[in-house]
Amino acid sequence: MRRLNEEEEPRVYQRVVLKNAAPYHYMKVHLVLEDETTRLSAVELKQFILTGLKSLHGEVGAALNFDLLKYDEETLTALLRVYSSGLVKLWTSLSLLGSYQNQNCAFRVHQVSPFLLALTGNSRDLQLD
Q: Rounded to whole angstroms, how far apart are CA atoms 48 and 106?
A: 12
Domains of the chain listed by start with CATH number: 24-117 (3.30.70.3250)
pTM here is: 0.78
Instruction: Give 84-104 pLDDT, tens digit per residue.
Output: 999 999 999 999 999 999 999
Instruction: Give 51-81 pLDDT, tens digit per residue.
Output: 999 999 999 888 999 999 999 999 999 999 9
Q: Rounded to whole angstroms, how far apart are CA atoms 111 and 105?
A: 19
pLDDT at 18 over 70: no
Q: What is the pLDDT of residue 77?
A: 96
Q: Are 95 and 27 in contact (CB under 8 A)?
A: no
Q: Please report which helix (H) or strand (E) contains residue 109, including its range.
A: strand 103-113
Rounded to an integer, the average pLDDT of 13-19 is: 73
- Sheet with 66-72: strands ordered across: 66-72, 77-83, 24-33, 103-113, 99-100
pLDDT at 17 over 90: no
